[in-house]
Structure 1
Amino acid sequence: MRFGALLEPPAERPQDVVGLAELMEELGYDVVTLSDHPYWPERLDTLALLSAIVARTTRITVLPNLLNLPLRPPAVVARTAATLDILSGGRFELGLGTGAQQMWDAVVAEGGPRRTAGQSIEALEEAVHVIRALWTSKTDVEFQGEHYRLDGAKPGPAPLHEMGIWFGAYQPRLLRLTGTLGDGWIPSSPFFPPEALPAANQIIDEAALAAGRSPEDVRRGYNIEGTFGTGTGFLQGPPAVWAEQLAEVTLNHRIDTYFLYRAESAEVLRRFAAEVAPAVRDLVAQG
């Protein structure tokens, strides 16, 4: 099991996020992630900020959660991700998103394409082929798709390790693509509660098997949002309740990586690391 947090990158506090990432490494977290909304000027650039985090940490895995593909050409993503992996000593993983449908006006305003939901999934599939080819090919790369084309692009640099590509997926078509091509899946609990996980897992598993893969080839992540308090519902109680609920999700739905959603408080990061993560590991080990 792995535990991490999805940090927010506010432009007015550029050092806060880096400091929280350093704290996470000190507290024993496994992964630090950042969301990506390049059309919002109140946010720092995700990849530039991740490079600063890579430079200030030595152990923790770094992951965008998830890169906005319509505003990031896949050839550039491939080379940037490989560079960060090399600089970090093999600690970078790549998360890709199709772009939220409600944000297309902002994407177009930045010079990006306007795509339907179906087109955005097609573009994501093409992008994965482009990225992996540039990472692994021994010859110049040719690719002719509907959304992306390479005409003899030079491959490289190669990542230092076999880098995983994670998807954010909710609808059946993108869940099937996750099972067919993805190395990891990251839904978010505010939009995708635990009761939605079984059906989604089944779609991913069936797609993986149809593609000649094992369902275990796809790691299962979860952005989780909650409050330490006395409320009821999912992650709305004291740390012991969080631990019981997350262990149940892991045992029943095979989630192996948790990210605290929009974590902005050092106090919350400390409490989760001390009182929740180890308890979840213990409960899962007990079955």
Structure 2
Amino acid sequence: MSSQKPLFGTGISTAVGDIEESLRLAVQADRQGLDLVTVSDHPYYAARLDAYAQVGVVLGRTERVSALVSVSNLPSRPAPMLARTVTSLSALTGGRLVLGMGAGGLWDEIARLGVERLGPGAAVRAFEEAVTLIRLLGGGGEPVTFEGEFYQVHDLEPAAVAVPPVWTGSVGPKSLAATGRVADGWIPGHAADWLSPRYRDARPVIDEAALKAGRDPADIVTVYNLPGVITATPVAAPRDADGVWRGGSVAQWVEELTGAVLEFGAHGFVHFRVDDGTPADVTLGRWAQEIAPAVREAVMAART
């Protein structure tokens, strides 16, 4: 079981029409003690902001919170350039970055960018190769020459700053195994949580691959995306008939997340607001100033 305190984050909109609110919520998250602000990456949609442009502005307006592109659309962001982007942002912000990595999902959309379409197997191989290369391109050292199936670089000098931790959004068995071999963290897809069949079936694949690679599975953290309402009063059923988390009062969230950390080893949670008429800043305040501190306190008390 990890001795680290659980991380708490919030997801903000990448819509061009939501710029003012998204930046305001990012600053609020920073001031109210959250660990992470996340954005999605869909560069093929004109109505969405470029994820790394948005992250750069968010980090420039904040002081403590880290940022995560969840997850980087690798096919549209070649690994050597992505390495330069994330090491530059890390250098500019004192390390306030996590590198989210995905193999690419919406290939019909990705192909419209002029990117060569890859089949599922090739996409996963390119994903694992990219993580390996990106790690080589940070932390200083001798120039890198890399001759891979998808990437070739010659005498390329690594950035002096280290590459941020790498978290993946892997879903299929091949990409899950790649996560076990090369990544530092995993964000289960489709907002699956610790009680879901998706988690129960997927996490052992990561752990087995990590062991085969000589790694400790415990070093690969699990951080959950959790949509849900945060209500002023308790709800009758925080989970629906299929067991999917829907949310509830502060106390109901605290009980659920404390159990997730202590019983299932959850490392962190990123909340996504579900509009129930509560203002976004009120919902974020409940998450950052009531739920997160209470879970951290309960976890610390249980571990001492």
TM-score by length of 2: 0.87
Partner in structure 2 of residue 204 of structure 1: 206
Partner in structure 1 of residue 130 of structure 2: 127
Shift of 1:235: 3.7
Decide whether the 8 Å contact of 2:83 with 2:163 is kept in 1.
no
What is the number of equivalent residue pairs in this alignment? 283
Shift of 1:162: 5.4
Distance 1:146 1:213 in 2: 24
Partner in structure 2 of residue 62 of structure 1: 67
Q: Cα RMSD between the aligned structures? A: 2.0
**Alignment identity in percent?**
35
Shift of 1:137: 5.7
Cα shift readout 1:83-142 (whole Å, capped 9, x = no counterpart): 000000111121111111xx2111101111212221111010110121111114633322
Matches within 5 A, 1:164-179: 164-179=165-180
Letter in 1 for 2:124: I
Partner in structure 1 of residue 253 of structure 2: 242
Letter in 2 for 1:255: A
- Give the alignment partner of residue 57 of structure 2, picking from 52, 61, 65: 52
Shift of 1:5: 0.9
Matches within 5 A, 1:1-287: 1-100=6-105, 103-136=106-139, 138-150=141-153, 152-159=154-161, 161=162, 163-188=164-189, 190-191=191-192, 194-196=195-197, 197-229=199-231, 230=235, 232=237, 233=239, 234-261=245-272, 265-287=280-302
* Structure 2: 5+ residue stretches without partners: 1-5, 240-244
Local SS of the residue matching 1:142? strand
Shift of 1:158: 2.7
Cα shift readout 1:180-204 (whole Å, capped 9, x = no counterpart): 1101111145356632323322222
Which aligned runs of 4 or more in structure 1 are off by greater than 3 angstroms? 188-193
1:40–1:192 distance in 2 versus 1, CA, 3 Å: farther
Distance 2:139 2:294 in 1: 40
Decide whether the 8 Å contact of 2:14 with 2:49 is kept in 1.
yes
Distance 1:269 1:260 in 2: 9
1:190–1:218 distance in 2 versus 1, CA, 3 Å: closer
Decide whether the 8 Å contact of 2:227 with 2:271 is kept in 1.
yes
